[in-house]
Amino acid sequence: MHAAIKSLKKYKIGYRTAKTAVAVSIGITIAQLCNLDFFVSSAIITILCVQNSKKKSLHSAFARFVACMLSIPFSYVFFEGIAYQPYVIGLLLLVFIPTTVLLKVNEGVVTSTVIILHIYSRNNMNWDIILNELGLIVIGIGAALLVNSYMPSLDKEMKTYQKKIEKHFQELLMEMVHFLRENECDINFQNKLKVTSKEVQIAKSLAFRDVENHFTRKENYYYKYFTIREKQLDVMDRLFARVTGVSTLIEQREAVASFLEELSLCVHSGNTAQLFLSKLQKIEDQIKNQDLPKNWEVFEEQAQVYYILKEIEQYLVIKKSLKVAY
């Protein structure tokens, strides 16, 4: 019993599934009220046109409408011109499918094939049949566009991912601080980096869907934000490799550790990059004024510290490009 309840909790009806069910019901009801033949076929067109964004839905509807409209004259030429025989369907598709690919409406091949088979099953073609098929096309596509005209806001989900990612960034920075001060790692940095990268990718896909739900919007704040975090992760990967390459130079390690600790406390959606760039420049100036290395080993570590500062600078420059306007 407990296992059954547990598996039932996992069963979840998605928003797109619910929309598809509603759209199919609307499409079949209207087609049936209009006394159209093959009225249940409108459901096939509807299901294929329901997408997870407004732009995708509109593009899908356009491709299927054009393909379906093409299928009617193609059916007339092949069936009336040759014969109503199974091999003619094959010949028709041999010409029809490349045509849809050429016109970039091959997404509508399945729905247009339904129209072709309707005409074939009638063994005849007249205006009543053509109007019937046009009715199925318009009703099926129209029902899909109707339910897809409303899309729920994704802001809450994107905000949740933003907070999770910022927390991960804080942990990654503090892990570097810990290493600089203690010469040891508490967590598997690379695994944490992969988890964060995966969440950034999911968040970016959500933000992209949000862009596609607005016809006049090319990009939104969240998409830009997650793209910046993605670029910063690449920098952090290189930065950690540099940090673990410094084992001496206690004073310089502590200066970098203090800076990264302060930076970790300011991982948020605001843009304080310029402030930290100024502080970073002061640290760099202080290190430049120190005595030159007296042996090769110290020289190598000094060079590593220099590259650490440059990686941190790159991290901040990337963040600086984000406009705080959301």
The answer on 94 and 22 residing in a single domain is: yes
Residue with tokens 């952090």: 236
- Give the number of other CB atoms < 10 A from CB of residue 70: 18
Domain-terminating residue out of 122, 149, 176: 149
pLDDT for 325: 44
What integer is the mean pLDDT of 45-72? 85
The answer on 171 and 113 residing in a single domain is: no
Residue with tokens 């619910």: 18
The answer on 75 and 22 residing in a single domain is: yes
Domain-terminating residue out of 97, 122, 149: 149
Q: How confident is the model at residue 83 (pLDDT cuts 50, 70, 90)?
A: very high
Burial label for 66, CB within 10 Å (0-12, 13-18, 19+), is middle
d(CA 151, CA 300): 56
- Tell me if 326 is assigned to some domain: no
Q: Which CATH number is 250's domain given?
A: 1.20.120.940
Both tokens of 116, joined, read 């072709």
CA distances from 23 to 54, 94, 148, 150, 235 (A): 15, 32, 9, 12, 46
d(CA 7, CA 1): 10
Q: Would the pLDDT of 12 be above 70?
A: no
Q: How confident is the model at residue 75 (pLDDT cuts 50, 70, 90)?
A: very high
What is the average pLDDT score of the chain? Answer: 84
Question: Whole-model pTM above 0.75?
Answer: no
The answer on 158 and 139 residing in a single domain is: no
pLDDT for 305: 80
pLDDT for 5: 52
Left if phi > 0, otherwise alpha if psi is -120 to 50, otherwise beta: which for 104? left
Q: What's the pLDDT tens digit per position in 150-171?
A: 776 778 888 899 999 999 999 9
Domain total in the chain: 2
Domain-terminating residue out of 149, 166, 190: 149
Q: Domain span at residue 120? A: 1-149
The answer on 187 and 46 residing in a single domain is: no
Q: Would the pLDDT of 2 be above 60?
A: no
The answer on 174 and 294 residing in a single domain is: yes
